[in-house]
Amino acid sequence: MPHHNKAECRELLWELKPALGVLGGTRIIKPSILEIPKDGMINSHPGLLPEVRGSASVAWSIYYDIPIGCTCHFIDPHIDTGPIVGRRLIPVYRGDTYEKLCWETIGLAGTLMTEAVDAWRKGTLRMTPQGLGPEALKVAPPEILDVVYRKLREGTYKHFVD
């Protein structure tokens, strides 16, 4: 589907009547799409929620000295605010690069999604409401990425495990 919020997608989903929607790395989903799967839609987010909502989670985590990790959550009409069904940290070692950490979040996001879908299928999926957190962040501009690269290179990011 070229665009998940268009009428073609909505019509196909109404026809298929999925019990659960499974997403990752998508744009904002409109309520008219969210309401179709009877059990909701889950998303795998490459950042810790509620601490790092929105885009460029690894960059913002490093910039603001927040631990890096991933979260699997149900989607609601807001950005990355739905109930959490899985959350895990990624260890950050001296010498790790920004690119390596982004790659690791992608792998962990897939693992969390697999675990969530398996638990949903077994009827054991547990949801935890999110606490308050900051507004969703946008794509990190070059000046932010410069700080991110410098903090990793100079070892000043506060969440190295060694």
Give the CATH number of the domain where residue 104 resides.
3.40.50.170
Of 121, 96, 103, nearest in space to 42 by CA = 121
Q: Tell me, yes or no, whether 1 lies in a domain.
A: no
Structure confidence by residue, pLDDT tens digits, 24-70: 777 788 888 899 999 999 999 999 999 999 999 999 999 999 999 99
Q: Tell me, yes or no, whether 160 lies in a domain.
A: no
Q: Tell me, yes or no, whether 159 lies in a domain.
A: no
Q: Tokens for 157, please give them.
A: 């990011």
Q: Which range marks the domain in which residue 15 is found?
A: 7-154
DSSP single-letter state for residue 80: S
Q: Tell me, yes or no, whether 80 lies in a domain.
A: yes
> Over 90: is that where the pLDDT of 4 sits?
no
Q: Tell me, yes or no, whether 51 lies in a domain.
A: yes
Of 41, 4, 3, nearest in space to 23 by CA = 41
Q: Tell me, yes or no, whether 146 lies in a domain.
A: yes
Report how far Cα 19 is from the mean position of its chain's Cα atoms.
21
Output the CA–CA distances (angstroms, integers) from residue 9 to 12, 15, 75, 78, 161, in the order listed.
5, 10, 17, 20, 44
Residues 6+ apart with CB under 8 A from 147: 62, 63
> Could you give the residue ranges of the DSSP H alpha helices within the chain?
7-16, 31-34, 57-63, 98-122, 142-154
Q: Is the pTM of this model over 0.95?
A: no
Q: Tell me, yes or no, whether 33 lies in a domain.
A: yes
Q: How many CB atoms lie within 10 A of CB 144?
A: 18
Q: Give the confidence band of 86 by pLDDT, cuts at 50, 70, 90.
A: very high
Q: Domains in the chain: how many in total?
A: 1
